[in-house]
Amino acid sequence: MEYVFFDLSLAQRFQKFCASLDVETALKSDETYSGEPEFTVSITDKLSEEKTEKIEEEYGEMLFGEQAAMIEGNKDTGAIADACGVQVQLQSGQFTTVAIHPDTMNKILSVLTIKELQQFLSQVAEDIENPKLGPICSRKDLPTI
């Protein structure tokens, strides 16, 4: 699992949060194609669902809260992002990132929380990996909120 930040102090705070959960991380610095600094926090350990949820929630709050405010404060036009994504864990335990255009992500996040979006995409992945036959009205295991 990888988490991208555009501010070193936020990336380091995220690492400290992970360490508080006894999760080891690695920090790599790089540049975006436009020359902006980029910091990637990697987690290679297999995590419990509980730890994964805590980490995803913290990342979401940092990314869409503090980091977005930092970017928005730099220009009158607001935050400019080249790409957005949401990580989803597959049945195999592997994570994949679903790429979402920033305009679409803003629309989605205007009505859903990050957790709700992740639950939705997880349900989509579940139904793709395990196809269900028949009409939806006859299913007994419909998703709930």
Q: What's 72's domain CATH number?
A: 3.30.70
CA distance 131 to 21: 35
Residues sharing a CB contact under 8 Å with residue 91, sequence separation 6 or more, in sequence order = 125, 126, 129, 130
Lowest mean per-residue pLDDT among 17-31, 65-79, 118-132: 65-79
Q: Are residues 87 and 71 in the same domain?
A: no
Q: Are residues 6 and 48 in the same domain?
A: yes
End-to-end CA distance of the chain: 25
Of the chain, the percentage scoring pLDDT greater than 90 comes to 15
Q: What is the pLDDT of residue 79?
A: 47
Cβ-based burial of 127 (10 A; exposed 0-12, middle 13-18, buried ≥19): exposed
Of the chain, the percentage scoring pLDDT greater than 70 comes to 84
Q: What is the pLDDT of residue 19?
A: 94
Calculate the CA dihedral of residues 91, 96, 99, 105 and round it to 10 degrees: 60
Question: Is the confidence at residue 52, as pLDDT, over 50?
Answer: yes
Q: Are residues 41 and 106 in the same domain?
A: no
Q: Please count the structural domains in the chain.
A: 2
Residue ranges making up the domain that contains 38: 1-79
Q: What is the pLDDT of residue 126?
A: 86
CA neighbor of 3 nearest in space, from 59, 47, 61, 58: 59
pTM (whole model) above 0.75: no
Q: Are residues 74 and 33 in the same domain?
A: yes
Each residue of 62-103: pLDDT tens digit? Answer: 776 655 555 444 444 444 555 677 777 788 888 787 887 777
Structure tokens at 26: 């690695």
The listed range with the strongest mean pLDDT (23-32, 83-92, 130-139) is 23-32
